[in-house]
Structure 1
Amino acid sequence: MVRDRARGGEPMKRSWSTGSDIFVELLVRAGIERTFAVTGGAVMDFVDALEAHPGLELQCFQTEQGAAWAAMGYTQVTGKLCAVTATSGPGATNFITPLSDALRDNIPLLVVTGQVARSARNTDAFQEIDITVIAASVAKKVVYLERMEDAAEVLADAIRVAFDGRPGPVLIDFPKDLQQQACAPLPPRAPAVVKAKPRSAPSGLEEVVDSLRHAERPVIIAGRGVVIAQARSELLALLEAAPIPVVHTLPGKAALSSTHPHCHGMIGMHGFYVPNWIVDNADLVISLGSRFDDRITGDTKRFAPNARRLIHFDIAQEQVQKVMPERKLGVVGHLKETLGAFASLLEGKGLRFTQWHERIAAVRKEYPSTYKEQPGTLQAQLVLEQLNAAVRAHRAKSGQRVIFTTEVGSHQMWASQYLELQPGDEFLTSAGLGCMGSGLPLALGAQIANPDALVICIAGDGSLRFSEAELETAWERALPVKVLLFNNDGYGIVRMWNNHFYEGRKTGVIKQGKQWTTLARGNGFTDGHVDRVESPAALRGVLDRAVAHRGPHFLEMVTPYEDCLPLIPSGKSFKEIML
């Protein structure tokens, strides 16, 4: 509640009819249930109205980036839009990296920034900056709100754009004088009339079916688009009709259960030998909601050299045209619909690919997806294997949904390689932009969205430095996120590249001296919520206790530096894979 200094600091009574109140009511009427915020001078009126509205939950964070990534975590596991807000100037510019991340990874995000009063615009006022210009290249739409009369239309259009086509972020800049402006109350809410957006029938499917019928060695690349489109059941139906080997991208890990018999793991720069071998030897590649980015393809001239065709399912034609368009047949449309139609067309066709599966099984025996063990050493891969066992045992008792998030670095790659996902589990990670500092707030947002879920953030000591402030949010709000920190004294992947390609120089990659358990305690975590493990002997007991614990838990794993293998060096092909 705002205090009026002229009246001796007594609280002012709310009028419930300011521009802030109207905008908040519009948010609620649009179906938004939660808002994440960092308050500040140019947004205080709006935050005050957010806190006061009985139909909306407000959660404050320590950093603007943390609030935005938490909103992205919330949206990814619910499918619902979460608004995020902060003040003008540095508060607004702190949103740029999460906005870029949301755009690259196709996550709907509504950002509302405070702005100086319209009368102070373009005067170099305190904390004035034109965020609409800065954010224009990293958001699907940016709008400076000039009149409250336009607010309903501006908000409705922004939300539509956030979900239309390839989802992504939008930004509305909200001047302070409009936040304070006296406004007439909104009329009673009219019954919503939802008009289904007409969608054209997918074209090209008959040609895809014909290509598959003539293929002997097909492979499916499952991308994040399968999850975004809520098409996991359609993928299962497709595999029932035609048991095609499946590999996944880093963000597409949750598209298919790790235990599914046709799931062969992650493709690309840090993918295991077998999934990369499958793509290299396939005669038909079918991509479902994947970008064909450089971390997957490497040298595009040598990518999938035996494939006669690359089939690209995507919601946007322009995405199909970005990489290797001359080799592609595009199937453009919403993946839930196109994949469902594709599965239906394959029913009864008798496609089995038996010899192909047998050949893959033989290669798997020769090149198992594993790591070089160091007996008595607390390796990150061993920790993840033991975590899988602890989660399986806990899930059998609790039936909890499990959501994994990761920070960015070698731990992220090991998590995608070794974590075991069951049907319905989620895997959230910054993939396209690779933002350090994203994993912890993603976990907080996912936990807020699913209070009863087991949410585990896999982090590295290099990356967590960028989001450690949000440990306070976890403790302050009693969010039972488990933070599993791998401490190998620095930036593991960059250190590996230095070792192999920069004559072993370690410029800026060694990070030592931070007392992580002390940091956790300094952010509120008490002794029963903090553990440090240095050897394998104590590992399983600590993991069992942490996953069963219904409060926040911080676990530091003191792991050695290791190369993050396999590795296909940038711009190279499967033929140059380092094992």
Structure 2
Amino acid sequence: MNGARWLVQALVAEGVDTLFGYPGGAIMPFYDALHGAPELKHVLVRHEQGAAFAANGYARASGRVGVCVATSGPGASNLVTGIADAMLDSVPMVVVTGQVPTTLMGTDAFQELDVFGMTLPMVKHSFIARRVEDLPRIVGEAFRLARSGRPGPVLIDLPKDVQNADASQLPAHASLGIDDVDAPIDASLHAALALISQAQKPVLYGGGGIALGDALAAFRTFVDATQIPTVLTLKGLGALPAQHPLNLGMLGMHGTRAANLAVQESDLLIVVGARFDDRATGKLVEFAPHARIVHMDLDACEIGKLRHADAGVRGDIATTLTKLTLPCAAHLHGRHGAARRQWRAHCQERARQHAARYDAPGDTVYAPALLKRLSELAPDAVVACDVGQHQMWVAQHWRFDDPRKHLTSGALGAMGFGLPAAIGAQLALDKGRQPDARVICVSGDGSFLMNVQELATLRRYGLPVKIVLLDNQALGMVRQWQELFFARRYSEIDLSDNPDFVAVAQAFGIEALHVDRADGVEAALQALLEAKGPALLHVAIDQAANVWPLVPPNRNNAEMLDDSRPDSAAPSHATATPTTPQEDADALPA
């Protein structure tokens, strides 16, 4: 029993059944210990970034801790983007990296890298195991911290000699579980209730904290009881089903007109598990200018960080919503009831007036219509999305009914996330005994090539992930911004030399199809979904297609740009006043 074998047994004791990684010199004792551990399924990715994103997708889809492993030096540094993504989107992960022996640390040994220091700004905590006796404390704390409070990644840097050291004297590992979550204090609840009772134009603003706090049922009950119009962030999508009559859609840079205008006109924002991200608020000083703020969050650091909270309610979100539901409903249907009913009807009518159109002219494939149709054909699918125009189209047009079905790199905006995250999600659903669960990866031609090697992982494990690859032969979101805000000075966005993606997929042994006409979309989607194993649908779309609406940089959310041709659902251009690169510096797309 050495340190590596003890760690394998500890992972099993923590409930880990799947981990993602890539071996190398400094982590070889751990891989040797895995050889005799049937309880752990190790998934060999083809790049360490794929391991981090796959663990990330596993955690997002399941709500459990994702685990990834890499060797020292370049193995560890290749994990960094995935670790940062987990930190910024509050994803529970434990990251294990090999390290050179403790006697060589600090000597610039082969493949030595200070991953502890390198990742300090992007983890909840870091550990270096300098003695084998440290392992029980470190492993227990790592999993407790990853799971507790606002989740996030924790790093364990594991020197090779510690892995090889005698661990026969160590006790069997026992999980520390999870910290209790604080309940909100009564004074903050009374303050929130007082503001809500006075509001005539209230809006609920829900974010990713709803799913993280297991508050989905409480949030929906609150909405139904209070009948408050609701907007959602990118990570909050699905907290209220897309077809719910009070769901005005996503707010922010590419949010719906109904959502953005409701927020701008509101007199009270009830913010639930959201953090006033710049992509949601637009120009912050002009965001919801007439609204007072009730801010509910587990993380005290978020309350008042970007916008003053007139009532800050810190604590478990589900408990907060449950305690406020009945008294809020009584107040909202009593005094000012007529004004609130009129406000609700106004918001809903505007949502109907500005509902998305899918009757695009022409014979080419209109991506929003394709994605909306795919969401109808696969309503229970988990969607892992890359970053770019296709990401926003998914957010706008997919009809999500659960936030854990929408996996996307929100705060970091990391291209290359989609395919490995889909692999992790599929394995999470398989382990959850959902063999019929469907995972769909939506990617763009730019993002897809960043981790295309994970097609080999997909094929090796026979995972039935379905890939929709939207190909406009450009870095679409950057191209759109250069068109609108940089006087069409297109710089380094041309991807017209893309490979034949169908041939690429087939070379990996994956079934592939192609569609480039609107009249072929239905048959192509049916064929994709009916494929028995992994499959890719290559979709050629118009390079000039833009994501609408769009809030320009340094503008408030009421100043949305839209199609310059009002009778068309598939615009290629919109009029906009060009801004300078300096004005756009704080608002560039991913």
- TM-score w.r.t. the length of structure 1 is 0.91
Could you tell me how far apart the structure 2 residues matched to 1:558 and 1:246 are? 35
The answer (yes or no) to whether the contact 1:33–1:56 under 8 Å persists in 2 is: yes
Instruction: Please state how far the C-alpha of 1:369 moved relative to its aligned partner.
Output: 2.9
Supply the RMSD in Å over aligned alpha carbons: 1.8
- How is 1:142-153 mapped onto 2 (pairs within 5 angstroms)? 142-153=126-137
Give the 3-state SS of the residue equivalent to 2:442 in structure 1.
Answer: strand
Pick one of 385, 405, 415 that aligns with 1:436: 415
Could you tell me how far apart the structure 2 residues matched to 1:38 and 1:116 are? 16
In the alignment, structure 1 residue 456 sits paired with structure 2 residue 456? no
The answer (yes or no) to whether the contact 1:390–1:540 under 8 Å persists in 2 is: no
The answer (yes or no) to whether the contact 1:37–1:47 under 8 Å persists in 2 is: no
- How is 1:59-208 mapped onto 2 (pairs within 5 angstroms)? 59-184=43-168, 186-187=170-171, 197=180, 199-203=182-186, 204-208=188-192
- How is 1:385-400 mapped onto 2 (pairs within 5 angstroms)? 385-392=372-379
In the alignment, structure 1 residue 551 sits paired with structure 2 residue 536? no
Pick one of 502, 520, 534 that aligns with 1:517: 502
Q: Structure 1: which amino acid aligns with 2:501?
A: W
Could you tell me how far apart the structure 1 residues matched to 2:504 and 2:458 are? 13
Could you tell me how far apart the structure 1 residues matched to 2:220 and 2:352 are? 26
The answer (yes or no) to whether the contact 1:212–1:218 under 8 Å persists in 2 is: yes
The answer (yes or no) to whether the contact 1:273–1:566 under 8 Å persists in 2 is: yes
Give the 3-state SS of the residue equivalent to 2:235 in structure 1.
Answer: coil
Pick one of 349, 362, 365 that aligns with 1:378: 365
Instruction: Please state how far the C-alpha of 1:194 moved relative to its aligned partner.
Output: 6.2
Structure 1, unaligned stretches of length 5 or more?
A: 1-16, 393-400
Change (3 A) 1:272 1:58: same
Pick one of 247, 255, 271 that aligns with 2:255: 271
Q: Structure 2: which amino acid aligns with 1:137?
A: P
Q: Structure 2: which amino acid aligns with 1:408?
A: V
The answer (yes or no) to whether the contact 1:88–1:114 under 8 Å persists in 2 is: yes
The answer for the alignment partner of 2:396 in structure 1 is: 417
Change (3 A) 1:538 1:299: same
The answer for the alignment partner of 1:9 in structure 2 is: none
- How is 1:364-375 mapped onto 2 (pairs within 5 angstroms)? 364-370=351-357, 373-375=360-362
The answer for the alignment partner of 1:318 in structure 2 is: 301
The answer for the alignment partner of 1:47 in structure 2 is: 31
Instruction: Please state how far the C-alpha of 1:550 moved relative to its aligned partner.
Output: 3.2
Could you tell me how far apart the structure 1 residues matched to 2:166 and 2:86 are? 34
Pick one of 523, 533, 536 that aligns with 1:541: 523
Give the 3-state SS of the residue equivalent to 2:361 in structure 1.
Answer: coil
Q: Structure 2: which amino acid aligns with 1:520?
A: A
Q: Structure 2: which amino acid aligns with 1:301?
A: V
Instruction: Please state how far the C-alpha of 1:196 moved relative to its aligned partner.
Output: 6.5
Structure 2, unaligned stretches of length 5 or more?
A: 563-590
Instruction: Please state how far the C-alpha of 1:364 moved relative to its aligned partner.
Output: 2.9
Q: Structure 1: which amino acid aligns with 2:249?
A: G
Change (3 A) 1:115 1:193: closer
- How is 1:492-503 mapped onto 2 (pairs within 5 angstroms)? 492-503=476-487
Once the two structures are superposed, what CA deviation does each residue of 1:99-150 show, in whole Å capped at 9, x if it has no partner? 1111110001100000111111111111011110101111111111101101
The answer for the alignment partner of 1:396 in structure 2 is: none
Q: Sequence identity, in percent?
A: 34
Give the 3-state SS of the residue equivalent to 1:254 in structure 2.
Answer: coil
In the alignment, structure 1 residue 334 sits paired with structure 2 residue 338? no
Change (3 A) 1:195 1:473: closer
The answer for the alignment partner of 1:356 in structure 2 is: 343
The answer (yes or no) to whether the contact 2:183–2:319 under 8 Å persists in 1 is: no
Instruction: Please state how far the C-alpha of 1:79 moved relative to its aligned partner.
Output: 1.6
The answer (yes or no) to whether the contact 1:402–1:425 under 8 Å persists in 2 is: no
Instruction: Please state how far the C-alpha of 1:560 moved relative to its aligned partner.
Output: 0.5
Could you tell me how far apart the structure 2 residues matched to 1:315 and 1:504 are? 44
Change (3 A) 1:196 1:64: closer
Give the 3-state SS of the residue equivalent to 2:121 in structure 1.
Answer: coil
Give the 3-state SS of the residue equivalent to 2:538 in structure 1.
Answer: strand
Q: Larger deviation: 242-251 or 177-186? A: 177-186
The answer for the alignment partner of 1:426 in structure 2 is: 405
Give the 3-state SS of the residue equivalent to 1:119 in structure 2.
Answer: coil
Could you tell me how far apart the structure 2 residues matched to 1:165 and 1:229 are? 9
Once the two structures are superposed, what CA deviation does each residue of 1:4-36 show, in whole Å capped at 9, x if it has no partner? xxxxxxxxxxxxx12100111111112222211
Instruction: Please state how far the C-alpha of 1:372 moved relative to its aligned partner.
Output: 7.2
- TM-score w.r.t. the length of structure 2 is 0.90
Once the two structures are superposed, what CA deviation does each residue of 1:493-540 show, in whole Å capped at 9, x if it has no partner? 110111111121221111122211111112221xxx210101011111
Instruction: Please state how far the C-alpha of 1:198 moved relative to its aligned partner.
Output: 6.4
In the alignment, structure 1 residue 215 sits paired with structure 2 residue 203? no
The answer for the alignment partner of 1:481 in structure 2 is: 465
